[in-house]
Chain A
Amino acid sequence: MSNGQHPAPRPGFVLDVDRTTPPILFHHGAGFRLEKLPAGRSRVIYPAEPLAGLDDPEGAIRDALLNPLGDSAPLPALLHPGMKLTIAFDDISLPLPPMRRPDIRQRVIEAVLDLAAEAGVDDVHLIAALAIHRRMTEDELRHTVGDRVYDAFAPKGLLYNLDAEDPDGMVVLGETPHGEDVHFCRRAAESDLVVYVNINLVSMDGGHKSTATGLAGYTGLRHHHNVHTLRNSKSLMDRENSALHASNWRMGSVIRDAGVKIFQIETTVNNDTFGRDGPLALLQKREWEWTGRDRAQFLAMKTGLDVLPGTARRKIFDGWRAPYQMTSVQAGEVEAVHEVTTANVYAQQLVPVEGQTDILTMGLPYICPYNVNSIMNPILVMCLGLGYFFNLYRGRPLVREGGVVIMSHPTPWEFHPVHHPSYIDFFEQVLADTTDPIEIESRYEKQFAEDEWYIHLYRTSYAYHGVHPFYMWYWGSHALEHLGRVIIVGGDPAAVRRLGFQAASTLPDALEMASDVVGPQPTITHMKNPPLLMADVT
């Protein structure tokens, strides 16, 4: 398939490293490393090239709204004068990095609002479904929904961030057969229709998780954001084998049975994270295809970045807006929609991989879902590596049980006090005491979750909820249980030690350290991510 501008995208593949293989580019926070992998026993998983975007996104959106999937009427048929309409949308954590304007959510929301206006609907609320994430700023909301929508709704208080700690704004809709409280936004619960607008960056996103998690607070989240559930989500990117999703799906049934009508709109994006041209384009190229100009450009970029202070480097990367293009949009009944969405995500990201590896290496970039316009603190480094990248598999983990993960990231002992106040305390108190997720959960979670200062900051400032760092740690609990050792190359030794991991100065050092666990000639697999890929491991 071609979009007329680029040759047909090549699928992802696995490269066996030999002596002719050039050094491989590793992301390293707001910087990069070139690493030579041992020949004969290493392989590199490359993501697929970006699929073509939809030629007419607005047309595709309108078509999806008018031709819904599953047991759902077209959107216009669900809209009528006098009704209460709530449009909820994914928050700042999606997509990563933030995309160039117009954001997909803006396109979808404008289309929904056009139909609502045509139907004479005048009671409309727009809610950033952020659950216990930090509130979005005005700039971030404007970027997401567009100025026109923002200016029409926000000044009247009709476009806002979810406040999951507002006792009057939240309601418990019921309980699943497993005894899970279904906590839900009251406005959404009392609406005649909830339209959910999603960007499905990875296969974990979307489905019932959009509303059961995005419009919930701690009362509901604690039932699936816990160590037991996440250790039994293998992986949390694979809905069919994810206890996290099973819980969300049970909650979705309760939401439906409580009479909440949801019209789900899901979209997928291609892999064009860094652009086909421009300063970061070579991050999407395969190293042996780098031209002389690419190499010179990389050298100049790396040299320049290396001499800049961390804040300046961060500022440069924070300014990057990904040229993602929408590859699909589907709307209607949640489960029917999500099935198609997942297939579309897999079409872009899934790479077949044969067999597990002794050592999995990964270069962690500057951004994860929880540090957009913020600092990637050590807990987020752990979460990105062991929570997200490790779980980007279907079938079996890429690394064998008892194997080693080597992550590359500077891991500075640095926190954003506004965004991550409870992370600081989690790092200073909890991890100083124990890194065992079970112990952390039983001894500390409740105290942090109910801490009134954290709640105050979550509700009034731009702070992640007090319990959020716990969830980051639990996100990595499957990996922690599975792995024999975790090593961070180039990480601040004190911060890495506090995480319970080992710090190495170089990749060869890290491989040497790993040999204690996996023997002297281990197999090595490098997950060249991002652009995003998901390993289909057989």
Chain B
Amino acid sequence: MKALQFKRNLPRYAAARLAGSFTPGRGATVGPLELVDLDPPVMPGPDWVRVRPRLSGICGSDLATVDGRSARYFEPMVSFPFIPGHEVVGDLDDDQRVVLEPVLGCASRSIAPTCSACAAGRLGNCEHTTFGDLSAGIQTGSCHDTGGGWAVAFSAHPSQLHPVPDGFSDEAAVMIEPAACGVHAAFAAKVPDSVVVAVLGAGTLGLATIAALRAYTSPRTIVATARHPHQQSLAAELGGDLVVAPTEVRRAVRRAAGTRAISRNGEGAAGTVDRLTGGADIVIDCVGSSSSLTDALAVTRPGGRIVLVGMPAVIELELTPLWHRELELVGSYTYGTETLQDGSTTRTFDLAFDLVSQADLGRLVTTTYPLARYREALEHAASAGSRGAVKVAFDLRDERERSAS
């Protein structure tokens, strides 16, 4: 079975880190990721089923892994070797099309009773991701026992699977998982009506978050940052009221919030915008870099909330504003169950299906590659913005082994 496998190999990991620092995605060429021929997946338990991916997306966290940039935080929470890929639409053996909800919570680990988070439907907060019948792994795509989406087949627990309605294209279906992240971020932001929200970053996550904010909340203004022209257009189409380059975000939020600015000290600095006196009520950082978080801290009003959606790893950050302005810094990881305005609860994935359909998020899948061209695919995904792409995915629909297996 053809698969892209990531092995524990420290020298190659270091090489990937070096190569990736020069050319994003280049870690795929020299790093621990390899195209291999494996035996078909073994089901980890009696309930498990085989999924044959049709499209399998490449996510920012995958790229961080490939380029040796992922946080050491995850080291005890993955099991090697593993097959990446957690944004998946695939077929079951009965040809039912399914989308994978990749989090490996208590149910998939045969842990009973479940942890309180899983019991509440907050799978992303599962406390047992390194326990139970499975090897360590917070998601399919980082667990040795399950395999992952960058292969012709992998194993999935029925609790992880969502049937894809007829009429949903594969491209739309593969966007369900990232869309669910955006939906979860929009809910985690707890957006009151008529406030100013800023979304930093207009990659897949940023765009999905903007769409989710527009669909499920009622802010007065959504300010969005986007580096590239196609991202700017999409951010505006999906609901951004004011879409600006990242370098312009402080001035843009100032205008939107109608606040004053604090300029840098020194002659000739009046009129520059170092930070705002007030600012956005909520900032959702879909980048997770030192620079984006610094911007977030500069433009969030005192008492406001910053939601961290982009995965930050190790960064250097001046946290004085967090303290001085009494800001909330909230993480938003994956999805689970959301509480709607009327108090009812719904699975994030169910909302994501609606969002993808309503906002036509399938159009964000701009490029696909076969597994054999994984190096090109990963380099393309790592420079998606500058190359006019948003979501890059592996297309396994024409893999010969797929029909044979």
**A residues whose Cβ falls under 8 Å from a Cβ of B:** 416-421, 424-425, 428-429, 432, 447, 451-453, 456-457, 461-463
* Inter-chain contact A428/B251, CB cutoff 8 Å: yes
* Inter-chain contact A428/B258, CB cutoff 8 Å: no
Most buried by B among A416, A417, A420: A417
| Contact pattern, B 242-255, Cβ under 8 Å of A = 1, otherwise 0 | 10110010011011
**B residues whose Cβ falls under 8 Å from a Cβ of A:** 242, 244-245, 248, 251-252, 254-255, 258-261, 263, 268-272
Looking at chain B's contact residues, is the secondary structure mostly helix, strand, loop, or mixed? loop
* Inter-chain contact A419/B271, CB cutoff 8 Å: yes
- A450 and chain B: residue at smallest CB distance: B258
* Inter-chain contact A417/B255, CB cutoff 8 Å: no
Chain A min CB distance to B116 (Å): 46
CA distance A424 to B269 in the complex (A): 14
* Across-interface contacts of A425 in B (CB, < 8 A): 251-252, 255
Most buried by B among A416, A420, A421: A421
- Given the contacts A452-B258, A452-B260, A453-B259, A428 and B271 also touching, CB distance less than 8 Å: no
CA distance A419 to B270 in the complex (A): 9
* Across-interface contacts of B260 in A (CB, < 8 A): 452-453, 456
Write 27 A-B pairs (CB below 8 A) sorted by A numbering: A417-B263, A417-B268, A417-B270, A417-B271, A417-B272, A418-B268, A418-B269, A419-B271, A420-B271, A421-B272, A424-B251, A425-B252, A428-B244, A429-B242, A429-B248, A429-B251, A429-B252, A429-B255, A447-B255, A451-B255, A451-B258, A452-B260, A453-B259, A453-B260, A456-B260, A457-B270, A462-B270
CA distance A511 to B272 in the complex (A): 39
* Inter-chain contact A457/B271, CB cutoff 8 Å: yes
- B236 and chain A: residue at smallest CB distance: A433
* Across-interface contacts of A452 in B (CB, < 8 A): 258, 260
Chain B min CB distance to A165 (Å): 14
CA distance A456 to B248 in the complex (A): 21
* Across-interface contacts of A420 in B (CB, < 8 A): 271
The 8 closest A-B pairs by CB, nearest first: A421-B271, A417-B271, A461-B270, A453-B260, A417-B272, A428-B248, A418-B271, A418-B270
CA distance A218 to B255 in the complex (A): 19
Chain B min CB distance to A421 (Å): 4
* Across-interface contacts of B255 in A (CB, < 8 A): 425, 429, 447, 451
Chain A min CB distance to B273 (Å): 8
CA distance A417 to B251 in the complex (A): 12
* Across-interface contacts of B245 in A (CB, < 8 A): 428
CA distance A416 to B269 in the complex (A): 9
CA distance A456 to B254 in the complex (A): 14
* Across-interface contacts of A453 in B (CB, < 8 A): 254, 259-261
Chain B min CB distance to A178 (Å): 32
CA distance A447 to B261 in the complex (A): 16
CA distance A419 to B269 in the complex (A): 10
- A456 and chain B: residue at smallest CB distance: B260
CA distance A447 to B256 in the complex (A): 10
CA distance A194 to B338 in the complex (A): 69
* Across-interface contacts of A419 in B (CB, < 8 A): 271
CA distance A113 to B95 in the complex (A): 97
- A444 and chain B: residue at smallest CB distance: B255
* Across-interface contacts of B244 in A (CB, < 8 A): 428-429, 432
* Inter-chain contact B248/A461, CB cutoff 8 Å: no
- A463 and chain B: residue at smallest CB distance: B271
Beyond A417-B270, A428-B251, A461-B270, list 6 extra A-B contacts (CB 8 Å): A418-B269, A424-B251, A429-B242, A429-B248, A451-B255, A453-B260
- B244 and chain A: residue at smallest CB distance: A428
- Given the contacts A425-B251, A428-B251, A461 and B258 also touching, CB distance less than 8 Å: no
* Inter-chain contact A463/B242, CB cutoff 8 Å: no
* Across-interface contacts of B248 in A (CB, < 8 A): 428-429
